[in-house]
Structure 1
Amino acid sequence: IIIPDKPDLPRAGILNTNGRDRWLTVTQIGLTKDDRERPWTDQEFIEIARGHVGIRDLDVTLLNRSIWRVSMQVAETFRKGRVFLVGDCAHRFPPTGGFGLNSGVQDAHNLAWKLAFVLKGLADEKLLDSYSSERRPIAQSNANFSYGNRLRFGLTDDAVRSRDPDRIRFWINDMDNHLHSIGQNLGHNYEEGAVIPDGTVAKALNSRYYTPTDRPGARFPHMWLEPSRKKSTLDWFDKEFTVVSGPLGSEWLEAGKQVSERIALPLSLKQLPSADPADGFQLGMRGAVLVRPDGHVAWRMPWLPSDPAKELAGALSALLH
């Protein structure tokens, strides 16, 4: 972010687009309308770019320019009949935070396996209703976070131009929360939809820090599975439901095999080499979780019941039928 000391030079965000010599400059020209007296000429754009980098005779080639409107919008529902909204047509955020693309990819990941299961006859059509109930709250959270980041830019700009060192220090430090947001990106939980709550209470989302957990609705925690760090638990999830047992939960894998054969539903069967609660694994040594194809935990039982096959079959029936 460039905040010039010259009052006639606008603030800008400058991004590299090819890793070498192409740059994108984003400059605000108004809040609800274009506040410029007139559109800038190509030469004026070039002079602004030179002012931003502080090199008066910088050789600048203007490739393109356009005007776009910052908005924060989330659709009322992401599904109506056979129509599903994914990506920017479901939600639009200010680009401050980079959550537009991430949210769209998450949408597609969430919907793809559900469509596949319904079209293959492996699940009832009502499974598709969970797409909107799961994704819309996450989109709204990302929209609010992105909009807050957008407001922070103006406050930081005002602070820098005030030349008050305490005011500047405060907003520069606060800006750090915009850049460190892995908790916002990875820490979301699906509280309703294609998940079976286990009675545990969700922790408040901390946008800055990501705390892994195998609680139903959360992304299954990452663990490297070999010293070379080429394979992790995240590689276990793709097109099938996966039964993941604790290190001493082999009975769950046998139960998964029995259930898969009985109901003609492919199940992937995996066993953790260790289950350290500090890494987010609360399923215990003899427990198990059922993980969806998109990597989110659908069901958890952190102990070994008298009939694990019955419990597992019941969970799958509740999720798919």
Structure 2
Amino acid sequence: MVETIVRVRATGHTYTIRSRYLIGADGARSSVLDSLDIPVDGKQLNTAFNVHIKADLSRYLEVRPGSMNWILNPDAPQWSAVGNFRMVRPWDEWVVSMHPASKNSAPFEPTEKDILDRLHQMIGDQGTTPIEILSSFRWTINDQVARSWQKGNVICIGDAVHRHPPINGLGSNTCISDAYNLSWKLAYVLKGLANRLILDSVTVERKPVGNNVVRRANDGMEAHRRIWATIGLTADERKKQTGIMAQADTEGRELRKQFQAALESTDAEFQALGIQMNQIYSDSPCVVIEKDDTDKPNMESLDFIKDQIVSTYPGFHLPHVWVAKDGQSHRKSVLDLCGHGAFTLVTSIGGEGRRNFATAVEGKRPGLTVNVVSIGWRQEYMDAYGDWEKTRGVEDDGAVLVRPDHFVAWRCKSIKSAGPDRLDQVFASILPTP
């Protein structure tokens, strides 16, 4: 059991909660992780300032609309040398991030006047645009990853274990993926469908993802700093550099080239489906790989940041393809046929016997649900554009077993290579019984 002492800040009252498990999803200042004495590798790099505002900026975005706009003013103050407007609602609600140009800058606590003056400077409106400040707060730019996600019956997820700048928008996506990974496993343990050892796979599966995300987000931040460095890290440098950029000489041309190259180096921030989707669990105990399944995707020539790996190899995320009940039905993603707290066995023509295999497994494990879906010619679902046949990685009578979190747990090339007992053996490996 885990004992958690809770203090109500408003009253000072404390009480104790006893639970089988505790999930620490309490952010980058996680007191839960701290209480576990799990080391966090990396460091805090800097601080930044966010302001949530209402301001009608439609006239500035009429010609060039965008959900994010970076602003670099030559005469900007050091505490907010660079900033961006992130749209909340078009075009009158924004979150404005203000960054110092250099690392390890001394913290600065701006007054409301400082904030308003800086906002008007960023807008370039000479103070004419009405601005309502809804909230403001300081936050820390981190480059940190916990060495483990868990200790005993306490498991931490989200920003508690991976802390990074918001470049690429990886924060919420990764936190939700952590929760998606943990939730089905914890549910299966609490329902008595699996031994608690299954929870040890959370660190095995998610820490590599956290490592990659933190690295990518900080690399992206460095790409932005290269832009800032080209223009100048202080007001005096920026005035000098922007003047040089306007010169019709060799020095001006070279600096303009450097600036353009720095801008283009941020391309990975906006063309980065790979870092979002290439989460691979092939080394996990919750995945089974057949000895004859040697078709693991070759990633040596892959741009891991930009290019998504589309594969049903065990440990990979199930690819999205369109299917439909028939030619008159609305199409749906194969992803929507899976999940919902259950395992799903996807097969095709000749794989009808898989239903009996799944039923047999369910019979041995009361409470376990193994849905069976058949995709193909005159099957339960039609392969709307032929994409499932191209990506499934197995023969018609083969099968792909999908976990509740949409990751492939196992696949077999053909029914000939995996008889009725094999599915039971796979589940015994993935879900060790209590």
1:74 corresponds to:
145
Are 1:14 and 2:14 matched, yes or no? no
**Which is worse superposed, 202-211 or 89-98?**
202-211
Mapped to 2, the partners of 1:242 and 1:277 lie a distance apart of: 15
* Contact 1:2 1:52 (8 Å CA) reproduced: no
Are 1:44 and 2:114 matched, yes or no? yes
Q: How far apart are 1:251 and its partner, in Å?
A: 2.5
1:241 corresponds to:
343
- The TM-score normalised by the length of structure 2 is 0.68
- Spell out, residue by residue over 1:246-271, the C-alpha distance to the aligned partner (whole angstroms, 9 max, x if none): 34422223322233234433211111
1:114 corresponds to:
185
Mapped to 2, the partners of 1:249 and 1:221 lie a distance apart of: 20
Mapped to 1, the partners of 2:428 and 2:295 lie a distance apart of: 22
1:2 corresponds to:
70
Q: How far apart are 1:176 and its partner, in Å?
A: 1.5
* Contact 2:73 2:122 (8 Å CA) reproduced: no
Of 55, 62, 66, which residue of structure 1 is paired with 2:125?
55
Mapped to 1, the partners of 2:417 and 2:121 lie a distance apart of: 73
Q: Secondary structure at the match of 1:68?
A: strand
Are 1:311 and 2:428 matched, yes or no? no
Q: How far apart are 1:209 and its partner, in Å?
A: 2.1
Ranges in structure 1 where 5+ consecutive residues have no aligned partner:
none
- Spell out, residue by residue over 1:50-86, the C-alpha distance to the aligned partner (whole angstroms, 9 max, x if none): 2212211222233332222111221111111110101
- Spell out, residue by residue over 1:172-196, the C-alpha distance to the aligned partner (whole angstroms, 9 max, x if none): 2221211121111112111222111
Query: Quick one: structure 1 residues 13 and 289, their matched pair in 2 at CA, closer, same or farther if it must change by over 3 Å?
Result: same
Letter in 2 for 1:232: S
Query: Quick one: structure 1 residues 139 and 306, their matched pair in 2 at CA, closer, same or farther if it must change by over 3 Å?
Result: closer
**Which is worse superposed, 297-306 or 220-229?**
220-229
**Which is worse superposed, 87-96 or 242-251?**
242-251
**Which is worse superposed, 155-164 or 181-190?**
155-164
Letter in 2 for 1:270: V
- Give the number of the structure whose residues are more often strand, by fraction: 2
Ranges in structure 2 where 5+ consecutive residues have no aligned partner:
1-68, 233-240, 246-254, 377-382
2:104 corresponds to:
32
- The TM-score normalised by the length of structure 1 is 0.91
* Contact 2:398 2:414 (8 Å CA) reproduced: yes
Q: How far apart are 1:279 and its partner, in Å?
A: 4.8
Q: Secondary structure at the match of 1:123?
A: coil
Of 286, 289, 307, which residue of structure 2 is paired with 1:209?
307
Mapped to 2, the partners of 1:207 and 1:222 lie a distance apart of: 19
Letter in 1 for 2:344: T
Query: Quick one: structure 1 residues 136 and 187, their matched pair in 2 at CA, closer, same or farther if it must change by over 3 Å?
Result: same
1:102 corresponds to:
173
Q: How far apart are 1:229 and its partner, in Å?
A: 5.0
Query: Quick one: structure 1 residues 90 and 40, their matched pair in 2 at CA, closer, same or farther if it must change by over 3 Å?
Result: closer
Are 1:145 and 2:216 matched, yes or no? yes
Identity of aligned residues (%): 24
Q: Over aligned residue pairs, what C-alpha RMSD do you find?
A: 2.2
Q: How far apart are 1:312 and its partner, in Å?
A: 1.0
Mapped to 2, the partners of 1:156 and 1:252 lie a distance apart of: 57
Runs of 4+ in 1 over 6 A off after TM superposition: none
Mapped to 2, the partners of 1:178 and 1:53 lie a distance apart of: 24
* Contact 2:181 2:405 (8 Å CA) reproduced: yes
* Contact 1:3 1:160 (8 Å CA) reproduced: no
